[in-house]
Structure 1
Amino acid sequence: MKAMLIALSLIQAAAPVSDGAQDATERSIGLRDRWQWLTRDIAFPAEWDSDGRHFHYRKTVAGGFAFVDVDAATQAKRPAFDAAALAPALARVLERPVDPLRLPFEHFAYQDGRGAIVAMIDYQPYRCTLVAPQCEKLVDRHRPRGFGVVRDLSVPALNDPQASPDGRLEALVIDDNLVVRDAGGGREHWRSADGSAGDFYDPESIAWAPDGRHVAAYRVQPGYRRIVTRVVAAPPGRVQPVLAEQLYPKPGDAVDRERPVIFDTASGRRTVVADTLFPNAYTLSNLRWRKDGRSVAFDYLRRGFDQAKVIAVDADSGVAHAAVTEDTKTFIHAERRFLHDVNDAGRELIWASERDGWRHLYLIDGTTGRVKRQITKGDWVVRDIAHVDDAKRRIWFSASGVTPGEDPYHKHWFRVDFDGRNLVRLTDGNEMHEASFSPDATRFVDVHSRTDRPEVAELRDGDTGRVIAVLERGDASALTAAGFRPPETFVAKGRDGRTDIWGLVVRPRDYDPAKRYPVIENIYAGPHDSFVPKGFWPFGGFSGGDKAMGMQQIADLGFVVVMIDGMGTANRSKAFHDVAWKNLDDSGFPDRIAWIKALAAKDRAVDITRVGIYGGSAGGQSTLNALLFHPDFYTAGVAYAGCFDNRMDKIEWNEQWLGWPVDQSYLDASGVVHAAKLQGRLLMVVGEQDSNVDPASTMQVVDALIRADKDFELLVVPNGEHAAGRTTGPVRYAQRRQYDFFRRTLLGEQTPNRNAR
């Protein structure tokens, strides 16, 4: 209570100003509503039916967007469904109005012979029938896992009997032991005898061999059940506060220990697989049987993210060997691991690796783990692997950085044979290409654009890249007439004086080069990706439209707004990425500062004596660290939902970049530990019910700032989630607070006393 009262007392109350100045923030925030539907483009790549005969996509239309279904053979188009009929059905289940032109989802998949669709809405799956539409929220019956590593034992596991390949038998777990019995709940053949509540067989891991001779499952020793408790201070429709609890493993916590066990189906003989090759696992993947039933495989990621393997186990003997081993002195980018088992036989594997300093594809001997051949090679990065054809021994993939002189983040699409020969480029032009391939890769939809070029969607041949048909051509004429101007792409050398750092510059629409403008950086420096938009600005779905629109809104208040991908972010070389290792306090600031100074040297209107910064989540942490570690350059910042102390945040994101066990690198990046260094002006915004980053992380910074007798501003959004104030909910209020904050701190303006109106 003391901390909240002190923080609230720090909110500045400014004197009333003229109506024109009072309306500046509101006018800027309203830009989204005025511009949002002025373009005509495709926001996302197409999605194909499983038979490859049709695909569908979403495109903007007057007042909103529509879903279009396309016959791949004839290119005939029709509405993907009756949106006017679907909207009322969705409104009933969501208990809120739904506009047919603004349906609350971006993607969907057909089901039941195109008689129904399934879509994600607010991170939950919903299913809607299309004839006499009715919608329902789908319930996931699987046992939840905290960030994938600790099972929530308060929720029963999905324990439906798993049928053997011939349908005669079924396996399930009873009293923590694996049981095999006749199908339909018949005679029990055998059950294990070593399961217990503290060392149980997981029914959701049961996997039958294709020949039915063996069945395997994981035996699990539970990890630490850390619970984060949040107070819901203003629950809707209620007076008294309530509590919310969440299973939330944090760095250093014990994770579930999993051990694969193989059973002979006929006898029940048990073989426990020794963990010699996979000790100290952070995660093990689902068990995968090879098609001959002689071996089972799984992926292993070592705690600390410095080793990954594919482990194959002989079903009869239980002897394991490493089919692939990937070691690094820093981190393995877990989300970018790729494995393809050629012919599902285990003899050859396609594997993505950064072992030569760039992410490339390798053909691995699955029996020895040795590299048979490096398939792709060069100072460029393999990005997405879309399709692997075992019969043709061919791979379709995207890559960036291939063309000298082009933006190194632009993706292009290629195909290549397993032996590295016949590398064929399927897309061209100095643009960003997002593609969606048919199930057999004979055709693909290519949506290409650039920050200054609207999207063009084309159906192309998957073998040659030849354009079969132009599906849609973006039109930004109305947007341009309304005053839109594309951002400037700017490149400058990084901290080493050699490496190109890429970013964007957004200026006010009434920009006057004779004036001087403060700079505001929109930062997100999470090592898991790169973040500067590359597709058409500002509304392309894969181009970072929300970032773009917000940057123009702020710029129009009288700022030059920039966004930069500094060292430590992904999609460049391994060395570029490794800057983040045990170094999250860095956030690429030496590159960012050098880049902004280079911009100012080119454009005298850029005033680097007044530099602000804002960001959310990891960007919120970087925002605070800018003020703590670089106060001579950054003087004002707005930090949304920051993971300000990595010991407080989710386990997998932080252990991946800072390692395990928890060490000094966690303290080096901590805004709590270094709070007393604050010199600039700070506004923090946090959602009370943030389930992504523990909101206590923000309050611990508040406590440390108060103890250090520092001035700051704090906005807590009741019932707000991780994106509180940035996307949905009370977004205009938080935006207004952010924009007014920068007007006061960087422009020296008096902002309105909005309580006086």
Structure 2
Amino acid sequence: MKNIFLLIILLPAFVRSQSLAPYQPTAAEEKNAYQQAAHLDSIIRGKAYKTTVRPHWLPNGKSFWYKNYLKDSTVEFIMVDAVKGTKAPAFDHAKLAAALQQYDAKHLPVTDLIIEKNVLKFAIKEQWYDYKNGRCTSIPAPIIHNTPGAFRQIPRWAFHDDNTASDTSSPNKEWVTTIHNGNVFLKAGSSSDSVQLTTDGNTDQPYGALQWSPDSRYFVGYRIRPEKIKSIHHLLSSLPDQTRARLDTEEYAQPGDPFTSFEMFIFHPSDKKVTKVNTPLYDFLGKPYLRWRKDDPRYFTYEKADRGHQRFRIIEVDATNGNTRDLVDEQTKTFIYESRIFTHYLEATNEIIWSSEKDGWYHLYLIDALKGTIKNEITKGPYVVRDIDSVDEKKREIWFKASGMNAGEDPYNLHYYRISFDGTQLVSLTKENAQHNLSFSPDRTFYLDTWSRPDLPPVTTLHRTSDGKQIMELERADLQDYFATGIRLPEVFTAKARDGQTDIWGIVCRPRNYDSTRRYPVIENIYAGPQDAFVPKTFMSFSEMQSLAELGFIVVQIDGMGTANRSKAFHDVCWQNLADAGLPDRILWIKALAARYPYVDTTRVGLYGTSAGGQNAAGALLFHPEFYKAAVSACGCHDNRVDKQWWNEQWMGYPVGPHYAAQSNVTNAAKLKGKLLLIVGEADNNVPPESTYRVVDALIKANKDFDLLVVPGMGHSDGGPYGRMKKRDFFVKNLLGVMPPERN
């Protein structure tokens, strides 16, 4: 029924669009389009002014200066009094230029400023000057004392500590440990005699990575089972001043490869007892990071994400007996996005702030670390916490970024908030329907907010942090010269996903001088890597998409289902399903675009992408040839068994099963229809080049026609300038039906 409804909606638009003649320029017209695109690329840069404000706060924390870049590379320096809400030229530009004698007033290369009690000090090329009474005097670099920040940035904790070095001396210096022939030895600091604590270690499976408790009563060690990481190879064919190729080899773990494992033990120096901790092997990406409890170092915790990414725990260990309990134990049937897990340990109150998607959205929880229970959900609702800016343990507040909280706007737009640990007193620091980027004063009394969208030029405002009140507007982007080039801002466009309910968001770039009475081919810039979302959300003064559009295309970028920053259900579409790439949603989105604009030609659709986007672009021709007709695939991870372990197991799961092969572009290469250009750099150490070569091998065996560009010496890339030129030529030839300009 849903498909019938879509057919009823789209069919009249399809009939209407077919009445328009296809846009198909002559060779001469297309040559001119190349020239116009190159001209736009050269003139558009530097035509957008006042798009950003980078504040340089003075030591008093109440004033700051910034530099505006204006027309013809001129500059101006502005001083802002944040308390009064006023701004003015930071100094008399003409007088300072006259004093310096070698610069004009509009091109002063000042890199730093200090203004105190009407005394101006400034730096040019790391040389400082003092300006008084119309004269400039060289001075030593001043010592700048900035106001200390009241908040600290909170990094995401690492689950793993890859450093396997051992602590040798206890914190109280009474004990010394050594490892000999793979076993642990202990001696008193004043003694020369050592006691052997283990006997089953050896050089192949040694004990090691010892770590003392803060009170020196215990230390933790591991029986280590090393696994050598296998290698990949690159043949560098075109080295300068050499007549032979060079073989480079490096370690590279692929899905299914084993990892070094760590079996945890507690050592008791007082009675020389060794206790095996009641916990499974730590067998994923290194040894655990230990946190000893501050008020009772009998206990420590560590975090464990199981291989396969379906279980995450915070485990507490009792060092007296090796018993454990789970303070947090999250399990899922799909995946837990390990690298986005946030934990913050509140030592003074024995609490933990922890992030989870357990309710279907990425939110924060407050954990009682003594009871091992959730005290409360801190954030809640159909929105996504995107990042933690800082935690104020004294005020019990969290400062964070989120998207999707504001109804009626793009759910990807970043907004800034603060909230109490108990989930009350939520304060929004950003209001406008846009993507926001905040910059705080050193003591966080004030902040600057720069907000924009792809279809909305940037505005920068100054605010008071206590209540978010706007003090003043600092700058609004000046785009007069920018628009004089004839360029138009991208359109933000939405359409329904395959479920008929979820909004899919993307942007549209058109040629400057398109003719709405002609039908233009569509090219999608695709990247469906599940680790993030990728459609730009801020103003772009220049983009390759717009440059490509100038050749006679409608160029789009879309975030389909299976990408991040939406609900858990939206993200789960990618689970063991990377070949999907949100392509069903993307197809519906482009069809909806054509229903709105008849000049969008859905019979001539191509796409291009790099890395995961390269996998997606080639896969579109294999799995959806009824819609996509041409693809440029650069350094694609075409077979998820060949690519890096951590990325692919995160989304495709562990162990490696038949689903890996079923979705491989190599396995499915014989299904190719349409036109395909493969690009690969021979020195790619991100996605091994053999990922592309295996596709080439399979295509040759299937007697398929395709194009291949191998770039000597190039790493993980879209092919560089030459590859981008070949990409344009490929689409011009295969979607417009015109031969590109002759360059020989």
> Quick check: TM above 0.5?
yes
Counterpart secondary structure, 1:410 = coil
Give 1:476 shift: 2.9
Deviation for aligned residue 1:318: 2.2
Among 579, 592, 601, the alignment partner of 1:598 is 592
Contact 2:262/2:283, CA 8 A, preserved across alignment: no
CA shift at 1:280, angstroms? 5.7
- Paired with 2:701 and 2:161, the residues of 1 have a C-alpha distance of 35
Which residue is 2:263 aligned to? 259
Alignment of 1:581 with 2:575, yes or no, is yes
Equivalenced residues, count: 657
Paired letter, 1:211: D
Letter matched to residue 700 of structure 1 = R
Aligned to 1:355: 358
Q: CA deviation at 1:454?
A: 3.0
Q: Secondary structure at the match of 2:262?
A: strand
1:424–1:478 CA distance, 2 compared to 1 (3 A): same
2:716 corresponds to 1:745: no
In structure 2, distance between residues paired with 1:316 and 1:646: 45
Q: Cα gap change, 1:312/1:437 in structure 2, threshold over 3 Å: closer, same or farther?
A: farther
CA contact (8 A) 2:185 2:198 kept: no
Aligned residue number for residue 732 of structure 1: 721
Q: Deviations over 1:692-725 (max 9, x none)?
A: 1111000000000000000111111111111252
Q: Deviations over 1:218-245 (max 9, x none)?
A: 5432234210011111123433211111
Matching residue's letter, 1:576: F
Deviates more, 1:482-491 or 1:699-708: 482-491
Counterpart CA distance in 2 for 1:656 and 1:640 is: 22
Match of 1:35 in 2: 44
Aligned twin of 2:558: 564
SS of equivalent to 1:391: coil
Q: Secondary structure at the match of 2:233?
A: strand
Report the secondary structure of 2:506's partner residue.
strand
Match of 1:215 in 2: 219
Which residue in 2 is equivalent to 1:140? Answer: none
Task: Kindly state the Cα deviation for residue 438 of structure 1 after the two structures are TM-superposed.
Answer: 6.5
Preserved contact between residue 437 and residue 444 of structure 1 (Cα < 8 Å): yes
> Aligned match of 2:634 in 640, 664, 677?
640
Mapped to 2, the partners of 1:244 and 1:503 lie a distance apart of 41
How far apart are residue 381 of structure 1 and its match? Answer: 1.1
Alpha-carbon offset, residue 493 of structure 1? 0.8
Match of 1:488?
A: 491
Map of 1:511 onto structure 2: 514
Correspondence list, 1:617-656, <5 A: 617-656=611-650
1:475 and 2:478 matched: yes
Report the CA distance shift for 1:299/1:471 in structure 2 as closer, same or farther (over 3 A): farther
- Corresponding residue for residue 197 of structure 1: 203
How far 1:319 moved relative to its partner? Answer: 1.8
With over 3 angstroms needed to count, the CA separation of the structure-2 counterparts of 1:473 and 1:178, relative to structure 1, is: farther
Tell whether 2:427 aligns with 1:424. yes
Change (3 A) 1:411 1:360: same
C-alpha deviations, 1:78-108, integer Å up to 9, x for none?
99xxxxxxxxxxxxxxxxxxxx99x9xxxxx
**Offset of residue 131 of structure 1:** 7.8
The letter for the 1-side match of 2:729 is D
**Equivalent residue letter for 1:658:** M
Do 2:496 and 2:585's aligned partners in 1 also have CA atoms closer than 8 Å?
yes
- The answer (yes or no) to whether the contact 2:161–2:287 under 8 Å persists in 1 is no
Contact (CA 8 Å) 1:29, 1:732: kept in 2 or not?
A: no
Give me the whole-angstrom Cα distance separating, in 2, the residues matched to 1:219 and 1:592: 50
What's the TM-score once normalised by structure 2's chain length? 0.79
**One-letter identity of the residue aligned with 2:525:** N
Q: Which residue of 1 aligns with 2:438?
A: 435
1:10-89 maps to which residues of 2 (within 5 A)?
21-22=30-31, 24-25=33-34, 27-29=36-38, 31-40=40-49
Question: Could you state the TM-score of these two structures normalised by the residue count of structure 1?
Answer: 0.78
Structure 2: which amino acid aligns with 1:452? D
* Structure 1 CA distance for aligned equivalents of residues 170 and 80 of structure 2: 38
Contact 1:689/1:695 (<8 A) preserved: yes
In structure 2, C-alpha distance between the alignment counterparts of 1:666 and 1:243, rounded to whole Å = 29
Paired residue secondary structure (2:308): coil
Provide structure 1 residue ranges, at least 5 long, that are not aligned to the other structure.
Answer: 1-16, 80-99, 104-113, 118-129, 133-146, 152-156, 540-548, 726-730
1:247 to 237, 248, 251: 251
Q: Which residue of 2 aligns with 1:607?
A: 601
Shift of 1:72: 10
Change (3 A) 1:676 1:450: same
- Alignment deviations for residues 533-587 of structure 1 (CA, whole Å, 9 cap, x no partner): 0011235xxxxxxxxx110011000000011111111111111111111111111
Quick check: 1:456–1:472 contact (8 Å CA) kept in 2? Answer: yes
- On the 8 A contact 2:186/2:197 being kept in 1, the answer is no
Give the letter for the 1:305 counterpart. H
**Please, which of 195, 217, 237 is the counterpart of residue 233 of structure 1?**
237
Corresponding residue number in structure 2 for 1:121: none
CA spacing shift, 1:443–1:225, aligned 2, 3 Å: same
AA partner of residue 434 (structure 2): E
CA distance in 1, matches of 2:220, 2:557: 49
**What is the rounded CA distance, in whole Å, between the counterparts of 1:288 and 1:254 in structure 2?**
27
Are the counterparts in 1 of residues 50 and 477 from structure 2 also a CA contact under 8 Å? yes
Q: Which amino acid aligns with 2:345?
A: D
Bigger shift: residues 365-374 or 398-407: 365-374
Question: Which structure has the bigger radius of gyration?
Answer: 2
Q: Give the drift of 1:320.
A: 1.6
1:502 lines up with 2:511 in the alignment: no
Q: What letter corresponds to residue 299 of structure 2 in structure 1?
A: S
Which residue does 1:85 correspond to in 2? none
Q: Are 2:685 and 1:667 equivalent residues in the alignment?
A: no
Quote how far apart the aligned CAs of 1:654 are.
Answer: 0.8
The match for 2:368 among 358, 365, 369 is 365
Query: One-letter code of the match for 2:326?
Result: A
Q: Secondary structure at the match of 1:480?
A: helix
Partner of 1:123: none
Is the partner of 2:518 in helix, strand or coil? coil
Cα distance 1:665–1:442, how it changes in 2: closer, same or farther (>3 A)?
farther
Q: Is the 8 A contact 1:224 1:249 kept in 2?
A: no
Answer yes or no: is the 8 Å Cα contact 2:27–2:740 preserved in 1: no
Q: How far off its partner does 1:30 sit?
A: 5.7
Deviation at 1:359, TM superposition (A): 1.0
Distance in 2, Cα, partners of 1:283 & 1:48: 42
**What is the aligned-residue identity percentage?**
44
Partner of 1:304: 308
Provide the residue aligned with 2:454 in structure 1.
Answer: 451
Cα distance, 1:530 vs structure 2: 0.7
Return the alpha-carbon distance in structure 1 between the equivalents of residues 30 and 250 of structure 2.
44
- Report SS of the residue matched to 1:564: strand
Report how far residue 641 of structure 1 moved: 0.7
SS in 2 for 1:749: coil
Deviation of residue 446 (structure 1)? 3.0
Superposition deviation, residue 326 in structure 1: 1.2
Query: 3-state DSSP class of the match of 2:615?
Result: helix
Stretch of structure 1 that moved more, 620-629 or 250-259: 250-259
**Contact (CA 8 Å) 2:53, 2:460: kept in 1 or not?**
no
Cα drift, residue 343 of structure 1: 2.8
8 Å CA contact 2:641–2:660 kept in 1: the answer is yes
TM-aligned CA deviation for residue 29 of structure 1: 4.7
Any conservation in 2 of the 1:45–1:435 contact (CA below 8 Å)?
no
Q: 1:373 to 1:491 in 2, by over 3 A?
A: same
Letter in 2 for 1:551: M
Change (3 A) 1:693 1:587: same
Select 1:523's aligned residue among 526, 535, 542. Answer: 526
Q: Which range moves more in the overlay, 699-708 or 570-579?
A: 570-579
Do the aligned partners of 2:522 and 2:556 also contact (CA within 8 Å) in 1? Answer: yes
SS at structure 2 position matched to 1:754: coil
* Alpha-carbon distance change, 52 to 722 in structure 1, aligned in 2, over 3 angstroms: farther
1:711 corresponds to: 705
